[in-house]
Amino acid sequence: MSARPGQPGWADVRKDEAHVRREREKARALRATAWWKAQVARGVCHYCGKTVPPAELTMDHVVPVARGGRSERGNVVPCCRACNASKSCLTPAEQILDQLAAGGLVPPDAVPDDPLSGPEEP
């Protein structure tokens, strides 16, 4: 594979159609649960942290279904349309590589409460 992070289509996406069908069905059922409704009712995008009207939040799979992700509580988050559109089929690690390659990663001082930036051990 010659494509590099930051170039369109660089990630090797090979869908398992049966898995995708099954997980889409599970997502539909998960959307109807009280748990999901409570997530959406908070009105906050998981990725950008912006307050969004609940009606505009979509269900996003952190690890995309097309990449083997499942429709389970640990893998779905409420997400605004802008974040959902920019995420496409990339896994979280691939998104970071993509952002690094594009030079658009958030500077460290913009990240609040970073547990790794505490005082150094003597």
CB atoms within 10 A of CB 70: 16
Return the ∠ at Cα 20 (arms to 18 and 25), rounded to 5°: 100
Choose among 120, 17, 121: nearest CA to 66: 17
Output the smallest distance, CB 46 to Zn ion, in A. 7
Give 104 or 118: the residue with its C-beta nearer to Zn ion.
Answer: 104
C-beta closer to Zn ion: residue 9 or 49: 49
Q: In angstroms, give the least distance from the CB of 72 to Zn ion.
A: 21
Nearer to Zn ion, 24 or 81 (CB): 81
Interface residues toward Zn ion, by CB under 5 A? 45, 47-48, 80, 83
Tell me the closest approach of the beta carbon of residue 107 to Zn ion, in angstroms: 19
Tokens of 100: 């690094």
